[in-house]
Every structure is written in structure tokens, then in C-alpha cells.
Amino acid sequence: MRSNGTMRTRRHRPLAALTGLLVTAGLVLTATTTAASAQTATARSTAAPAASAPHATASPTAADPVGPRQGDFLSAFLYSVAKPTALPIGANDWSCKPGRAHPRPVVLVHGTFENRYANWAALSPTLKDAGYCVFALNYGGTKGPILATGDIAKSAGQLDAFVDRVRAATGADKVDLVGYSQGGMMPRYYIKNLGGAAKIDKLVAFVPTNHGTSLLGFGLLARLIPGADVVAGAVCPACEQQVVGSRFIKELNAGGETDPAVDYTVITTWYDEVVTPYSSAFLAPARNVTNETVQSHCLIDPITHLNITYDRTATRLALNALDPAHAQRPTC
């Protein structure tokens, strides 16, 4: 078994945590408004059912703009509000052929209420510069910047189709997945239930919701207020499915949390304001599991859930997981 990198001492960073929580709350409110508007529009629409199918993946087209490299989540998310189909630099070059140094393409999987650009505007160009073929999908929604709200099993089906497309384009037998939050947990459903174990070599997960989350108690609070859980489930099925103790989480983890054919790396932070406690992101110890905490490598790093894919230490841990033969010591 590899080291889990867990440290029990916790230091509080009230300002960082409060900032992350406020942004999270804003995203939740935005998602709720967006979902409600979408439901109203659908009810009034006379379009064919196929055109208005819920939770369809936004298809990349030649018109999708390529956004600039960003240094933080909020800047990237705000850019995606204006350009919701934006691609991060380096992603979705369908002519890319993997080289000997990096023979497997990397597929980036975003988190709940977010999109491929918001989460990967820094890591995608970093991976491209390192010589990887990089691909990123939008999933779990119809349009706009607020995605990954749909039923997680259906989203896993969209990931399955996207991985097959990447494999066909690149000629690779397997790909590596790098996911964030729901995007770090949802691929486990794909691996367990949709044949993903035969197509995936590594899953690197930033702050995944592997054992659910209470969102500092808000998820459980919704179940205590009459009707609140029904509303949450209507506008965001994935939210209800990710609450601690949900049927989805129980079934996902039943019978073992990992597949021996896949290598798993979890990267989390003491100051995660969404997946609480932060250690619930960790997978059960196994020979093919590595659980990492950013602060085990940089004690003073105050990184939170929302910005972890923009963090230098976390990025190095992800690069090391993808290419352990050329691993470098993480720095603050």
C-alpha cells in the first residue's frame, strides 16, 4: 500500500475558507436560477424531443473559442459565463497522436456547477506543454456555464462516449482521466458499471466526492426542511446524489471502492470547504491507491476546494501521478 499522506493537525484559514464558501454559494444560486429558467423554457418549447433532451453533452464544434490561460477558478469561471463553450488551451486537438513519452491521452473531467474551461484553464495548457494529448468534455447539462448537474449515471455514459471518441481519434487503447470534485468521483461509476476499467489506466482525482459531502451541513439541512430535498433533486440530481449517505454513494462504494486494473490518486486539501471532512475524499487503502494531501508537501498552502486545480503543489502531484517515472518533488 502506498502512503496516504494524511496529516491530522489542522490549521484554520478563516478568510480563505469564507471566500471559497461565498463563491460556492454563489455558484449554487446561479445554478438554481439557470436550471429553473431552463425548465421553464423547455416547458414552453415546441422543439423536437431530441433537441431538448435533458443533460445532453454540449458538442464541441469548430466555433468553440479557445480561452486564455487563467490563474484562478473565479477568473476562468467568469470567462466561461460569457463564452460557455470555451476550450482551455491545448484541449481537443483531434489530430494529436500520443508520443512514446506519454502514450496515453489525458481526458479532463470537470465538477458540479462548472465546465471544462472553468476547471482546466491552467492544467490543460500545462499538460499540453508537457507533451500530452489533452481532451476535455462538457457533460451533465444542456448549455451555459453551469453543467454537471444531471444524473451521474447518465453523465458517466457521456464520459464513456467521449473516451471512445478520444481512443478512436488517437489510436490509444487506454486513456488517463484527471477529474475534479464530481469529475473525480463520477468516473468510478464508469469504471465499475460501464466497462471503463478496460479503457482507463489511471484516475487522478482532485478533491473528489468519493464518500459524499454535507457541504458544511447544507446538504443534510435540505433533508431536514420539508420539500427542500425534492427541490434540490429537481434542479440538480447530481447534488442530491452526492450528499453523504445517498443511495448513489452507497451503491458506488458497495463491494469495494476501486478496480485492480486502474491506478487511483486522490489529491485533497485540509481547507476543503465543499467535501467535508476533507478526508472523505480518500479511497480505501489498496496497492493501487495513493491518497495525497497538499499540506503534506506544503504545510503553509491554504488552497481550498474551488482553486485546487490552479494550485502549484496540487498540479505537481497530478503530474507525478500521471508520469511517476519522472516525478519531481512538489514545492510551495
CA distance 62 to 46: 28
CA distance 267 to 259: 18
Which stretches in the chain have pLDDT values below 50?
1-60, 217-218, 220-222, 225, 228, 231
Q: Is the peptide bond before 60 cis (omega within 30 degrees of 0)?
A: no
CA distance 243 to 248: 9
Place of cell 488517437: 170
Rg of the Cα atoms in the chain: 19
CA distance 248 to 151: 10
pTM of the model: 0.81
pLDDT digits (tens, 9 = 90+) for 186-220: 999 999 999 999 999 999 999 999 999 886 644 54
DSSP string, 123-146: HHHHHHHTT--EEEE--SSSSSS-
Residues 6+ apart with CB under 8 A from 176: 104, 105, 106, 107, 200, 201, 202, 203, 204, 322
C-alpha cell at 4: 496516504
Instruction: Give the three-state DSSP class for 38.
Output: helix
pLDDT of residue 146: 86
pLDDT of residue 34: 40
pLDDT of residue 276: 87
CA distance 29 to 35: 10
**Residues 314 and 26: beta-carbon distance below 8 Å:** no
Give me the half-sphere count of Cα atoms (radius 13 Å) on the Cβ side of residue 288: 13
- What is the side-by-side strand order in the sheet with 289-293? 134-137, 106-109, 175-180, 200-206, 263-268, 289-293
C-alpha cell at 200: 482507463
